[in-house]
Amino acid sequence: MKKKVVTAQEKKKALDWFKKYHRLVNYIGAAQLYLKDNFLLERPLRSSDIKDRILGHWGTVPGLNFIYEHFNFLISKHDVEAFFIAGPGHGAPAVLANLFLEGTLKEYYPQYTVDGKGMGHLLKDFSWPYGFQSHVTPHCPGSILEGGELGYSLSTAFGAAMDNPNLIVACVIGDGEAESGPLAASWHGNKFLNPRESGAVLPIVHVNGYKISGPSIYSTMTDEELEHLFLGYGYKPYFVVDEENSLHQCMTHYLEKAYQDIREIQRKAREENCVTKTAWPVIIFRSMKGWTGTKMINGKKVEDNYRSHGIPIKDPKNNPKDLQALQDWLHSYRIDELVDSKGRPTKEVMEFVPKGKFRMGMNKHTFGGEVLKALKMPKVEKFEFEGKHGEVQGSSTAIAAQFLNQIFIDNKKTGGFRYFCPDETESNLMEKIFEGGGREYVWPVKPEDECIVTTGKVTEMLSETTLQGFLQGYLLTGRHGLFATYEAFGMINASMVDQYCKFIKQTLHVKWRKPIASLNYLLTSLGWRQEHNGYSHQNPSLVANALEKHGEFTSVYFPTDGNSYMVTMQDNFTRKNGVNIVVQGKQKMPQWLSVEEARNQMENGVMVWDWVGGKGSKDPDVVFAASGDHMLLEVMAAIDILRREVPGIHQRLVYVSEMTSFGLGKANKTERVMGKDFEKYFGATAPIIYNFHGYAHSVQKLLFKHPHAGRFFIHGYREEGGTTTPYDMQVRNGTSRWHLVVEALQKGAMNKLELAGPAKKVIKKYQKLLDQHKAYIIEHGKDLDEVTNWTWKN
């Protein structure tokens, strides 16, 4: 790329612009915190001009403004396709100030005209009921990340850049945020970004000295130490510090160098096929916390101190000294020199502000719903697992991997689909997807390392939070994806799921945000078969967490088998603005349903399996219900025992595959299943013995106050486990077939005279087996053959 020669006159013009623009955005940022009137300081400040509740944060604002304006300048020079991610929390005053001046806010909120009247609306509406919040929420155009939970800015930025070849993501990382574990792991995103087919992330680490009340770690490190740190991560660091040259001149110089580095990396990758071990640039920007703000308050340092982090001047409404200090601060920006009589920014102030599609707030990728394209979906029937109900076995995840592999193949030209997983794809028996996707990795590997290609669409990294950050950035910029992890480790991401749900919930109330593809989770290597890895790997808590909240767009699925999981994926990949959590085991298990039956199951999320209970299903003495493949296996074995031991007992099986049908989410489905159609599924009077994959209380909460709640006897995970046998996991938690048999007879058969006698004998038999079980596995190190070798016979 040929560099443009910049004359001394052009440099002076740019520097003059930086200084004026910086004053104006800093004024707007500061005034948002305090003012509800007198927005252009046309008279001395009065108490009545000050908001009653002064909310927000100042310390990070001037640094964010500085970075934003320098990117504006870069964009105006090169027509760069870029957008801005503000990692530091509470940075919205800066982002809003820039969105206002570039005219993006006016595009979506007509009241924010770029003049004094529009500025007044913005200043008053900040941290005002039903106005803008102190974080960059979905109400802000150009945003794909809310900075309320620190640590995910960089991983989100990398996800956004993947498969977006022309995009540069300007990602600002606060020095406090940089201390977090998720952010520290995210630096390794550079090893998964292929410059031939993806865009670039330019991280700017804003080292401004302090967190809430103490110095940040990065601020206590020397430039040499930080340089070694980032060289070790594989970056090319540039330092922007205020020494002999002004910060503006220094940032202009190094931001241009970083841009030229990015373009040269991309040129080599795209023209010379040189991809391996790319040293992407990173900028370390040192400035004062609360820069340009009030210097001292009550004899204590504020600027360049933690006291500038939040609200520097605490009580200007009631304290005359504070009011005078605020007036002095705001007047220091000399706003009258920057706007005309109507409050419109002068021509000089707007000189290098990008226009049209090049405004960062208007970048098309940040409006992911507008660029989202449907995936080409293969036919599930092509991969159907065939056989009679339950009489053949297979790994559901292995079957599903064939389906996913075909998605990669069918969408190879258009792209837009990625699979993210810790180093578990093969452990989950899903290695088939490497044929169509391949592991993406761009740093050198050994020849014998398998399935690794620079153009892969499968990303594996032992950082669950980083992977979800990648996926969130990918989804929010209009693509599709799937995140798979061991069930127990899903809880590492629980807080991220909550924050993402809150982000999506807010988008539902923003009319101009179009729907994006759902966040899809696969929880596998389930706790019920983590008996070899032990107690630490036995945890269904993410399901419990999801069932607690966000029901209007969160779905939890328990497919029975491979066909059911493929049908579920087909549905999930077409859903929008949702979070889909699918719980599916990887072990060889009975395959119960045909594709057609799986679709019928999917229709309502609950279905009576008449072929299990036969004629007795119509008038049951006991109703069995199940959610989860391992839970279903125990129920089916219990039903089989009862039909042999107590032939006269009438049984019905109801499988609940989607918890939205059972009281969470989709109102129409819930109303049908748990309302007028309830007895169609669960009968009118028989006891309902429900074997549930997760914690029993998760279902109990859904049934709270339901008129039939007293009929339910729920078995689930009791937080009992260890390194043991597979069946012992069931026994320890009271979910075993023997427990179900005993309870079914106690609740459903003892009231029938003709069954009471046989029932007592069977109860005694299986209670004795439960007593003998522990001694047997301790002696033999395995489960009883009658358990291990059990199969369903139609």
pLDDT above 60: residue 433: yes
Q: What is the pLDDT of residues 689-713, one digit of tens each?
A: 999 999 999 999 888 889 999 999 9
How far is it, in rounded angstroms, from Cα 678 to Cα 667? 14
- Relative to beta strand 712-715, strand 688-692 is parallel
Tell me the two tokens of residue 257.
């160098």
Q: Identify residue 75 by its one-letter amino acid code.
A: I
Strand partners, 203: 171
Q: What is the pLDDT of residues 626-671, one digit of tens each?
A: 999 999 999 999 999 999 999 999 999 999 999 877 765 555 566 6
Distances (CA, A) of 436 to 267, 345, 415, 714: 27, 54, 12, 42
Do the Cβ atoms of 173 and 208 come closer than 8 Å? no
Distances (CA, A) of 780 to 97, 200, 725, 783, 784: 71, 58, 10, 8, 9
Taken in order 105, 107, 112, 114, the sign of the CA dihedral is positive
**For residue 471, which of 160, 137, 202, 178 has the smallest C-alpha distance?**
160
> Mean pLDDT over residues 564-573, rounded?
96
Q: What is the pLDDT of residues 313-356, one digit of tens each?
A: 999 999 999 999 999 999 999 999 999 999 999 999 999 999 99
pLDDT confidence bin for 734, thresholds 50/70/90: very high
Do the Cβ atoms of 484 and 431 come closer than 8 Å? no
pLDDT confidence bin for 133, thresholds 50/70/90: very high
pLDDT confidence bin for 1, thresholds 50/70/90: very low
How far is it, in rounded angstroms, from Cα 262 to Cα 394? 48
How far is it, in rounded angstroms, from Cα 93 to Cα 133? 9
Q: How is 512-557 classified by DSSP, letter by letter?
A: T----BPEEEEEES-GGG-TTT-GGG---HHHHHHHHS-TTTEEEE
By CB neighbour count within 10 A (0-12 exposed, 13-18 middle, 19+ buried), where does 706 fall?
A: middle
At 480 the three-state DSSP class reads strand
Do the Cβ atoms of 108 and 511 come closer than 8 Å? no
pLDDT at position 705 is 86
How far is it, in rounded angstroms, from Cα 77 to Cα 482? 38
Q: Which residues, in sequence order, are CB contacts of 298 under 8 Å at separation 6+?
A: none
DSSP state of 36: S
Do the Cβ atoms of 482 and 476 come closer than 8 Å? no
For the chain, list the domains and their CATH numbers: 15-353 (3.40.50.970), 374-589 (3.40.50.970), 605-788 (3.40.50.920)
pLDDT confidence bin for 4, thresholds 50/70/90: low
pLDDT at position 660 is 78
How far is it, in rounded angstroms, from Cα 670 to Cα 571? 18
Residues in the chain: 794
Strand partners, 581: 521, 556
How far is it, in rounded angstroms, from Cα 579 to Cα 665? 11
Do the Cβ atoms of 547 and 664 come closer than 8 Å? yes
Q: What is the pLDDT of residues 353-362, one digit of tens each?
A: 999 999 999 9
Q: Identify residue 89 by its one-letter amino acid code.
A: G
Interior angle at CA 499, CA 55 and CA 673, nearest 5: 125
Distances (CA, A) of 370 to 282, 363, 513, 630: 30, 11, 8, 41
pLDDT confidence bin for 383, thresholds 50/70/90: very high
**For residue 96, which of 45, 71, 131, 129 has the smallest C-alpha distance?**
131
Q: What is the pLDDT of residues 397-419, one digit of tens each?
A: 999 999 999 999 999 988 899 99
Name the one residue in this structure whose structure tokens are 């979906």. Answer: 377
**For residue 1, which of 87, 53, 77 has the smallest C-alpha distance?**
77
Q: What is the pLDDT of residues 241-266, one digit of tens each?
A: 976 568 999 999 999 999 999 999 99
pLDDT at position 669 is 65
> Mean pLDDT over residues 489-511, rounded?
93
How far is it, in rounded angstroms, from Cα 201 to Cα 269? 16
DSSP state of 109: -
On the CB side of 714, CA atoms within 13 Å amount to 19
How far is it, in rounded angstroms, from Cα 182 to Cα 47? 43
How far is it, in rounded angstroms, from Cα 530 to Cα 726? 8
**For residue 167, which of 507, 478, 577, 576 has the smallest C-alpha distance?**
478
Q: Dihedral of the CA atoms 730, 734, 737, 742 (nearest 10)?
A: 160
**For residue 203, which of 217, 218, 190, 219 has the smallest C-alpha distance?**
190
Q: How is 626-639 classified by DSSP, letter by letter?
A: EESHHHHHHHHHHH
Q: Which residues, in sequence order, are CB contacts of 518 under 8 Å at separation 6+?
A: 475, 572, 573, 575, 576, 577, 578, 579, 580
Q: Which residues, in sequence order, are CB contacts of 14 under 8 Å at separation 6+?
A: 73, 252, 352
Distances (CA, A) of 133 to 103, 111, 312, 503, 612: 19, 17, 18, 13, 55
Distances (CA, A) of 444 to 186, 416, 441, 447, 478: 19, 26, 8, 9, 30
DSSP 3-state helix, strand, coil percentages of the chain (rounded to 5)?
A: 45, 15, 40
**For residue 608, which of 516, 540, 510, 677 has the smallest C-alpha distance?**
677
On the CB side of 186, CA atoms within 13 Å amount to 29
DSSP state of 81: E
Q: Which residues, in sequence order, are CB contacts of 648 under 8 Å at separation 6+?
A: 752, 754, 755, 758
User: Mean pLDDT across the chain, nearest whole number?
Assistant: 94
**For residue 144, which of 470, 463, 460, 490 has the smallest C-alpha distance?**
470
Q: Dihedral of the CA atoms 317, 323, 325, 330 (nearest 10)?
A: 90
At 203 the three-state DSSP class reads strand
Q: Assign residue 124 a region: left if phi > 0, alpha if psi is -120 to 50, beta otherwise?
A: alpha
Do the Cβ atoms of 573 and 375 come closer than 8 Å? yes
Ranges of beta strands (E only) in 316-409 are 393-395
At 290 the three-state DSSP class reads coil
pLDDT at position 49 is 98
pLDDT at position 284 is 98
How far is it, in rounded angstroms, from Cα 325 to Cα 314? 10
- Relative to beta strand 235-240, strand 417-421 is unpaired
Do the Cβ atoms of 28 and 102 come closer than 8 Å? no
> Mean pLDDT over residues 661-688, rounded?
78
